[in-house]
Amino acid sequence: MINLELPKKLRASANQAHQVAAQIFRPISRKYDLAEHEYPVELDTMAAMVDGLSDSGTQKISGAAGGRSDEGEGPATLPVNANGGNMSALLNALETSWGDVGLMLSIPYQGLGNAAIAAVATDEQLERFGKVWASMAITEPSFGSDSAAVTTTAVLDGDEWVLNGEKIFVTAGQRSTHIVVWASVDRSLGRAAIKSFVVPRDAPGLSVARLEHKLGIKASDTAVLLLQDCRIPKDNILGSPEVNVEKGFAGVMQTFDNTRPMVAAMAIGVTRAALEELRTILTDAGIEISYDTPPNSQHAAAAEFLRMEADYESAYLLAMRAAWMADNKQPNSLQASMSKAKAGRTGTDVTLKAVELAGAVGYSQRLLLEKWGRDSKILDIFEGTQQIQQLIVARRVLNKTSAELK
């Protein structure tokens, strides 16, 4: 039997995150949507609270960070169902994104780069980078979804790596304390030579070229970073520096197995916010949503609501499964991409349909519906577009390589 009830410790953590979303994020959501690039000073209190909870051993309130589960196997014949860092991070990302996904992405020390550190760092690196705010720098001007096309280089010079290249669309790229940079240690060896490096904000040669003006998530800064003979310590490379041509860059790509369910959770949080607002609007308009009557026998708006709610539930369960598998050390690349694809598509569909069904009030700034419609689009793009996720799913299902199915 599958038990879909959340464990007590996760319910408490998710409830904490929801209170933050409702009491801190929602009241300032429009303020920072209209003040792009202005730092949300209210998050400093939030950061102090998160840090205090971490020091006391309490679950983090937010969590793009993901993480490893300390729970493993029990006796040899009795495996333990672990609900660890990934599940907690997913639920907390969902709840805080219900409040405001841009602000969620702006919480100090909760960057997407932290998920990369959690996924592939050594124990020593986890200790050293345990309290950093790490953003993720993958995309370059010459490519978007093809992560294997990285042109940024990393050359070992004595006890230091020297990085050169340009990274674009770096979430929290200006505010974070560290950047996880994807770079090639030997471009002649192709994708197998792509590694990830932790670059401190004050590293010589690292600079912010500009901040982007965006459609949504305006509370979050999105930067263009330049690495010009940027020097970092030799042991700031995540994982092994050795190039294994047969293995490819699976170790680096493992990062996405952690971050894609997190981004799915963000989309699910925004989706739920839009559905709740739409339900209130429909109810106030006298439209009853019934679960005992076939959709084709109900008001058209009610039937649409039921369809969208079913998609929301599907996305939620897929994301939960992907996170659970990560916590239980099961390969979840297929499930991570499935959850990201479903949640991203559902988020854009539901938020824009909610704007449409709400009419003039949905299109105006009187409510947050139109903002959620703008915010949701990026959640179907970053960490791998809808098309890329479908391609990955197809390869896994059909057992095809990237060379066989492009």
Q: How many CB atoms lie within 10 A of CB 174?
A: 17
**Pairwise CA distance, residues 93 & 63, whole Å:** 5
278-306: string of b/e by CB count within 10 Å (b at 16+)? bbebbeeeebebeeeeebeebbebbbbbb
Helix axes 26-33, 369-379, angle to 10 degrees: 80
Q: Which residues contact 400 (CB under 8 A, 6 or more apart)?
A: 394
Using the structure block, give the residue that is written with the tokens 């699910």: 268
Q: How many CB atoms lie within 10 A of CB 319?
A: 31
140-172: string of b/e by CB count within 10 Å (b at 16+)? beeebbebbebebbbeeeeeebbbbbbbbbbbb
Position 229, amino acid? D
Q: How many CB atoms lie within 10 A of CB 22?
A: 13
Position 241, amino acid? P
Which backbone phi and psi does 341 adopt, to 5 degrees?
Answer: -65, -50
Q: For 343, how many CA atoms within 13 A lie in the half-sphere containing its CB? A: 33
Contact 385, 145 (CB under 8 A): yes
**Pairwise CA distance, residues 206 & 163, whole Å:** 9
Please tell me whether residue 308 adopts helix, strand or coil conformation: helix
Using the structure block, give the residue that is written with the tokens 């700034």: 365
Q: Which residues are catalytic?
A: 383
**Pairwise CA distance, residues 253 & 241, whole Å:** 15
78-102: string of b/e by CB count within 10 Å (b at 16+)? eeeebbbbbbbbbbbbbbbbbbbbb
